[in-house]
Structures are given as C-alpha cells and as structure tokens.
Structure 1
Amino acid sequence: KRSQSQTIAVTPRPYNQKVDPLGRIVANTSNEIDDDCGREEYRDKMVECCVKACGTRDQLMNASFFIVATNVMCRTDKMEFPPLEIGICQYSIASGIKFSYHEFIDAGKVPLGYMHSAKDWAETSHKIPLSDFYPATNNYEKLVEDMKQILEESRFTNQMTGKPTPMLVFCREDAIEQNRGVFQWLQHKYNEINKTSFEWDLEVLDLVLLLYYISKSGGHTISMAAGEGMS
C-alpha cells in the first residue's frame, strides 16, 4: 500500500500580470498561455517553486516526486507516440523509491508507413516485440484510470489560488516530448472507448532541472551537466 504524499504549498513567482484559475501564467491581454516560450518558462518556474515551497530540509527530504519513463513504437509525422511500455515511480530523497508502477502496452498495429523505423528502433533500442507480446495490455481505460489515481498524489497546492496544481511528473529533458506524446495517445484511446472528452491535467517536467534546484536549496549547487549524469 502506498503512503499518502505530503501536500506542499507552491507560490509561483508571477512574471506576467495575470494567472489562470490553476495559477498558470497568462498573457497581459489574453486568458491563454503567452506562447511556447512562455509556457516553457512557466514549466521551469513550476519546478523551482515546488522545491522552494518545501521550506525546511526535512520537508524537502520527505517530499514525493513522480518520475516517468516510456518506450514507444515510433514517432509519426503527426507527433503521435504509440506506447509499448510505461513506468512511473514515486520517489523521495529520504525514502528512495516508495512505489512503482509498470505496464507493457499493446498499441495495436504499427502506423502505416512506419514498420521499418519501428522494427529498427525495436532491434537497436527497447527490444520489445511489436505484436503478439503476451504481457502487454490493450485495456487503455484501465491504464488511464490507474495512472490518474497514482498521479493524484503528485499535485501540490498553489498558495496564490488555494487550488491544486496539475499532476506533475518528471523525466530527462530529451524524453519530455515522447512522454507527453504517450499521455496524449492514451488520452485519445480513452476518449474513443468512453465517448468522452477527457483531458489530462498534467505537466511533464525536466528531472535534471529538479535535481539542480534540490541541490541549490541545500547550498551545494550542481551544474546542469552534473544533473544529467545523476538522472
């Protein structure tokens, strides 16, 4: 049984004049996120504020962070990432890995025109069979429901609004696009099955940046390059 993670208040530093109901930075004249650059800055600021909000050393040591990793068939020109595997772990500095979740996923047929690249990637990278792999599940509804339940504990509380942040998961920067794509692929399948318009309330953030701010809070700042080696 997983322990409940401690709720930690987050107070983002405003760098625009308005925030949306979840405390996300928005434009001066619009209710939308400024642009890609502004959204990335918002995500980076969220990482920093999560660490700063821990306050004391003990709070930081016991705070839970969720780390995600995936393997996929391929990346299509439409930026689709059919998943073959997903793993999520709940981690704290004090306790290490507190909980882990893992599933192989049956994503169905390889997208038309991508068989060669999918086979090549399987052979040189993850080694997961592209079809007829008995541990893999195609119960996308259960996958999404399980992950929704697990990642509820990844939310913080925004002191500016008193409302919860999105679910927060971390990974290496070079895997962020793929991991976001996997969550989007599962969202699409979930909605196909249930005839709904469910959307993830979730952000995939930079794990190396998290390590950098954790080290900085302890007075032993590591470089981003060193953080890459630790992740």
Structure 2
Amino acid sequence: MSKKKASAYMIFVSEWQSRSGETNIDKAVKMAAKDWEALDDRAKEEYKLEAKIRNSGLRGRVLDILPPAQQEIKERIGKKEAGIDDATRMTMIEDFCSRPLDEIVNTDFYVVNFNVAVKTKQNAYIPIEVGIVKFSLKEGIQDSYHEFIDGGKTPIGHGYEVKEHMERVHKLPLYDISEYPVTEMAATETQEEHVASLENSIAAFNAFVQAERLPVPEGTDTKRKYVQPLFTLPDLDGLGLTQTSGCLKRMATEVEQVGFYENYEVLDLTYLMFCLYKRVVGKARPMALCMDDFYRVIHSYEPNTNCEYHDTTDTPHCALSRSYRFSYVFLDVLIPVFHIEVTPAHRPKPNPKVEECFLAPMEPRYQVASSSRSRINGRNWSEL
C-alpha cells in the first residue's frame, strides 16, 4: 500500500503544532487554517516545493530556498569562499604579526560571536544574536556591541530542532523576543519586514566594526585586495569560525548585500595569540595550550559580561559574554609578554555581589606583575 502523499498544508500544520504545543492532529488541522491563509504567496510556495521534494522520494531533505534574484549573490559568495582558504588566513595572521611591535600593541581587534536558531540540513546558519568586543593590547577592552537579529521564519522542517536548540543552549525566546524589555525588536511577519530589519542590523554592524584592513596575499584567487579582520575561535562545540562566517553569509544573502560578506574575513583568534607569543618570546607556546585556555571559558560564567537579557537566565551562552571571555583570555596571556601596564580595562569588572560575601579582600583574578616573571595561571610565562 502506497504511503499518503505529503501536502503543503499538512507540512505547515506539523510546524504549527511544534509552535503551539497542540498534539491533537484533527484540532490542529482546523486551528492552523487561519494562520495558513495569512501566509504570503512566497511562504506558501516554499511549503509546496517541500511537499514536491518529499513526494519525489527525497524524503528528509529540506531546501534552503533562495529567490531567483539571489542566485547571482550565491555564486559571488561561492567565489569568495573559494578564494581564501585556511592556509591563506594563517598567512594573513603571520604577516600581521611581523609588523613592528609598537604598531601591534596599538591595533584594535574585534572578537565576534553569534548565537543561532538552527543550522539547517543545507549547512545554513540562522543568526539571532551577535556580540562583538573591541580591544587592543595597550588599551584593553574599549567598547562592545550587542544586538538581537531577526532570524525570519523558522526554516521548513526544522521546527523541533529550533525549539530544542534554543531552550537547551542560549535560552532565547523562540518566536517573539519583543515581550522582553531588552529590545524592541519583534518577530517580523513579512519578508519585507524581515529584510528591512536585517538591513538595519547590517548597518549597525558596519558602523561599529572599524578594523584596520589587512591585505589579501598576492596570488590568492580573489578580487578582494583588502579585508577587515574579525576574530573568533576555531570550531569548538559547534561554535567558531564556520558558524561566524555562516551567519555573515546568511545575513548578506537574505538582503542581497554580498559586499557585506566580502568586506570581512573571519580569522582564528587562537592562532593570532600563538603567533604573537612566538614573535615576542622567541619560542612557540604549544598550540594545544592556547586552545585549552579558550576552551576552558566557553562554558564558564563571567560576571558583568552578559547582555541584559542573559543576565536573567541560567546559561553561559550569551554571544556578548563569549566575546568578552575570549578577549580577557587573550589579554591575560599576552599582557605579561608585551610588558604592558595593566589597567582596569584589561581585567574583568569585579562582581560586588560576590565580593560582599567575603570578609577578607579577594585575590586578583589575573596576577600580572610588572616584572618579566609575571605569572599566568600559577606558571611563569617564560616557562609556558
């Protein structure tokens, strides 16, 4: 007996059930009708195409659909990704680390992290939160940027994955973040509103990030001569370079602004720390040790680094907090190496609520002395 063919409406009903919590299929079919009629033609076409895919025998595959006008954008993005590989990114970092030390210590770095609603079956990342921290070795942390991003409608076939991921990881509200006082952004209802919201997010992102452009090595198969570097970790626990780059790509594709994606290159913060340490000390600090420094703070909590919303939730997965934590680790390792005078901007802000619990003064979290034998995590930096 042949299986009943999927219909666009029943696929929509399945998604509607995951949002509403209604488990009775007969009731759901009737109750979802009003929401189905409210969909625009483009949204309905996506469900119809998904039904055709399932009925063609490719069951389980879900398309990340792009309007025809975006196909050229997709091709340009493909060329951009093919133009610079991991080896080229490492070369860009090595070239930067060969600059005069006075220039290096005054350079502004931007550490960026995203939270996503889901990674689709086509490896598309749906960004919903971004946190960026600006710092230099000399001045410490100077500024930060945080925003909740309109992720648009839940991708077809991913309703349960979105709900499970968001509740388990960053605990952001599933459908309407406007109920929280931290932002006025609401879940958009139409594609036009979604695009307009993303355009505003891209404009704010560009306005904040003013990184010095790095030259792209000669011989690289790309038309780009210079790019603005953004730094994050290599891929760890589903976070890192791939997710960050994927979020930038998704935003650029949705609004057809490929220049936004082409303007930036996401580089490895761990390798930058490795190269700078080797440049100054004269010997390499084991890459595994550099990785471990960052890995230990991925799931840790640092007071006064969360966004306002995540300050009220029990999770370390705030995009802004991760950027702060990674920046503090970077400074903690390299400040003694460069013999930089430590300021409050180089250290996490104290948590007065915690300090009140202690009768005696708390020991400084980062023990950085002015002598050449400063200590990091109980070890002499010269011995690392």
Report if TM-score (shorter chain) is over 0.5.
yes
For residues 150 and 81 of structure 2, the distance between their equivalents in structure 1, rounded to whole angstroms, comes to 37
User: Is 2:83 the counterpart of 1:83?
Assistant: no
Structure 1 SS opposite 2:85: helix
Secondary structure of 2:154's match? coil
Q: 1:145 to 1:74 in 2, by over 3 A?
A: same
Alignment match, 1:186: 251
- Residue 133 of structure 1 is matched in structure 2 by 177
1:105 touches 1:136 (CA, 8 Å); kept in 2? no
Alpha-carbon contact 1:144-1:190 (below 8 Å) kept: no
CA deviation vs aligned residue, 1:103-131 (integer Å, no higher than 9, x gap)? 01121221111111111111221111121
Q: 2:96 aligns with which of 37, 50, 67?
A: 50
Correspondence 1:94 to 2:129: no
The 5 Å alignment of 1:22-171 reads: 39-53=85-99, 55-56=100-101, 58-134=102-178, 135=183, 137=185, 139-156=197-214, 165-171=226-232
Matching residue's letter, 2:124: E
RMSD between aligned residues: 2.7
| Alignment correspondent of 1:215 | 277
Q: Distance in 1 between matches of 2:163 and 2:227?
A: 35
| 1:199 Cα deviation from its structure 2 partner | 4.6
Instruction: Find the partner of 1:228 among 264, 270, 291.
Output: 291
Q: 1:24 aligns to what?
A: none
Kept in 2: contact 1:86–1:104 (CA 8 A) = yes
**Which amino acid in structure 2 is aligned with residue 189 of structure 1?**
E
- 142-151 or 111-120: bigger deviation: 142-151
Aligned-partner Cα distance in 2 for 1:177–1:230: 20
Task: Give the C-alpha shift of residue 154 in structure 1.
Answer: 3.7
TM-score between both structures, scaled by the size of structure 2: 0.46
Between the two proteins, what is the percent identity of the paired residues?
26
Q: Distance in 1 between matches of 2:80 and 2:250?
A: 23
**Unaligned ranges ≥5, structure 1:** 1-31
How much has 1:93 moved relative to structure 2?
Answer: 1.4
Find the aligned partners of 2:200 and 2:292 in 1 and give their Cα distance.
Answer: 35
> SS where residue 146 of structure 2 aligns?
strand
Q: Within 1, Cα distance between the matches of 2:233 and 2:291?
A: 8
In 2: Cα distance, 1:164 partner to 1:88 partner:
24
Q: Is the alpha carbon distance of 1:202 and 1:141 closer, same or farther for their aligned partners in structure 2, counting shifts above 3 Å?
A: same
Instruction: Determine if contact 1:103/1:136 at 8 Å carries over to the other structure.
Output: no
TM-score normalized with structure 1 length: 0.74
Q: Secondary structure at the match of 1:173?
A: coil
1:172 has 2:233 as partner = yes
Greater RCO, 1 or 2 (C-alpha within 8 Å, sep 6+)? 1
Q: How far apart, in 2, do the equivalents of 1:107 and 1:189 lie?
A: 10
Aligned equivalents of 1:33, 1:84: Cα separation in 2 = 24
- Deviations, residues 135-158 of structure 1 (Å, cap 9, x unaligned): 264521111122223334241357
SS at match of 2:130: strand
1:59 positional shift:
2.3
1:157-194 per-residue CA deviation (whole Å, 9 max, x = no partner) reads 5797xx96211101110111111111011112222xxx
Cα distance in 2 between the residues matched to 1:88 and 1:72: 15
Name the SS of the counterpart of 1:168 in structure 2: strand
Q: In structure 1, what is the Cα distance between the partners aligned to 2:109 and 2:129?
A: 20
Relative distance call for 1:79 and 1:154 in structure 2 (3 A) is farther
C-alpha spacing 1:34/1:89, structure 2 compared with 1 (3 Å): closer
Note if contact 1:106-1:136 (Cα within 8 Å) is conserved in structure 2: no
The structure richer in helix per residue is 2
CA contact (8 A) 1:47 1:210 kept: yes
- Taking a change above 3 Å as real, the CA distance of residues 224 and 136 of structure 1, as seen in their structure-2 partners, is farther
Q: Secondary structure at the match of 1:113?
A: coil
